Amino acid sequence: MVKRTMRSASLLRGLGIALPLLAAASLVTTSAIAQPTVRDQRTSKPNALAGEKDGVRPMIVDRVVATINDEIILNSELMMRVAPLAFELNKISDLKERRRRETKLTSQVLAEMINEELVSQAASSAKLEVGAKEVEAAITDLKRQNKLDDEQLKEALRMQGYSMSSYRKDVRSQIVRMRAVNTLVRPKVSITDDDVRAKYDANARRAAQVSEVHLQHILIATEPTADAAAKKAARDKAADIIGRARAGEDFAKLAETYSDDPATKNTGGDLGWIERGTIATEWEVIVFAMSKDETRGPVNGPRGLHVFHVSELKDSKQEEYEAVKEKLRNELYRAELDKQTRLWVDELRKKAHFEIKL
């Protein structure tokens, strides 16, 4: 008979309870607190043995949505995993759009459950075991971190209709999958001192860039249909303003006198602090290459010509290498572990026989 081993789903997400386990790639981690699944009737179609009587067909209470080698995932298990994630979708008023997102979410969750089952099977093949003491230690750690005693945890589970027994089984499954990653994938990950230094140097190059500019501007308005003479007059006016600003005249006073932008004219053309990625790319290339107190232009815009002035700059700051090297090493290690885990699971999928029946 086909066994049922997939029993993971979120139970207490709303309470913010998380299960602390060994660090591993998020691809194969499971929900915080697991819950048991409803027992199903394995009847895919009615017949005399299934209890059809007087033309009344029995109700199918569950169905298989995926097979993975000799294991299965039930619709009830899938729906319990989807339900906490789909809560926000109920706020979407467009029924068609809500259905589309529900379908996409359901497919994504099922793919995750298939990956989890493949990892569990790999752990079984590698004869990785988890004892009762380890399960109890994980539960004890969870209670400590979330300030729960035994009765509070039992009551929370009971209110959801689940037992401590089924919860322990799911905790064990999660630890098994974590152990599979730690045993079968982690040895493939290696971060050298050169890798850490390269990461630091890359960060330093980015930190050397200007992160924010305090920007002022003067707009010389032109109509889209302006003729050549009008455009030349606008450019000549902008060139005169640029020359005067570079000669030392106060840019704010020039803006108050000549700018055609009513929103900033009376504040000296002040646009405030501008961060990278918040203005048009063609403008960003110009203003983030400017020095403090530099004036440039004219620059084309939808309303005419702009003269830009940078009054202040902010540079990103980079800590010393010795102070951040271990943090960088950990970041690189986690990223590489995630990458190797994805590659490993991809290989498991290629070798497995599975069928999706959504």
Q: What is the pLDDT of residue 103?
A: 92
Task: Measure the CA–CA gap between 1 and 7, rounded to whole angstroms.
Answer: 17
Cis peptide before 298 (omega within 30 of 0): yes
* Dihedral angle, C-alpha 30, 355, 182, 138, nearest 10 °: 30
Residues of the chain with pLDDT under 70: 1-60, 160-162, 206-209, 316
Quickly list DSSP for 323-343. HHHHHHHHHHHHHHHHHHHHH
CATH number at residue 236: 3.10.50.40
Q: What is the pLDDT of residue 23?
A: 34
Task: Measure the CA–CA gap between 79 and 74, rounded to whole angstroms.
Answer: 9
Q: What is the pLDDT of residue 207?
A: 62
Read off the pTM.
0.56
* Dihedral angle, C-alpha 20, 21, 24, 30, nearest 10 °: -80
Domain annotation covers residue 171: yes
Are 155 and 252 in the same domain? no
Domain annotation covers residue 250: yes
Q: What is the pLDDT of residue 63?
A: 93
Q: What is the pLDDT of residue 166?
A: 81
Are 157 and 240 in the same domain? no
Number of structural domains the chain divides into = 2
Are 177 and 226 in the same domain? no
Are 124 and 249 in the same domain? no
Q: What is the pLDDT of residue 322?
A: 92
SS3 253: helix
Domain annotation covers residue 3: no
Domain ranges, residue 263: 209-315
H/E run at residue 210: strand 210-221
Are 160 and 214 in the same domain? no
Are 352 and 282 in the same domain? no
In this predicted model, what pLDDT tens digit does every residue of 14-50 receive, in sequence order? Answer: 333 334 333 333 334 333 333 333 333 333 333 434 4
Domain annotation covers residue 8: no
Domain annotation covers residue 62: yes
CATH number at residue 346: 1.10.4030.10
Are 42 and 122 in the same domain? yes
- Given a contact cutoff of 8 angstroms between Cβ atoms, the answer to whether 114 and 73 are in contact is yes
Domain annotation covers residue 204: no
Residue 68: CB atoms within 10 A of its CB come to 24
Task: Measure the CA–CA gap between 328 and 349, rounded to whole angstroms.
Answer: 32
In this predicted model, what pLDDT tens digit does every residue of 65-96 receive, in sequence order? Answer: 999 999 999 998 898 888 878 878 888 888 99
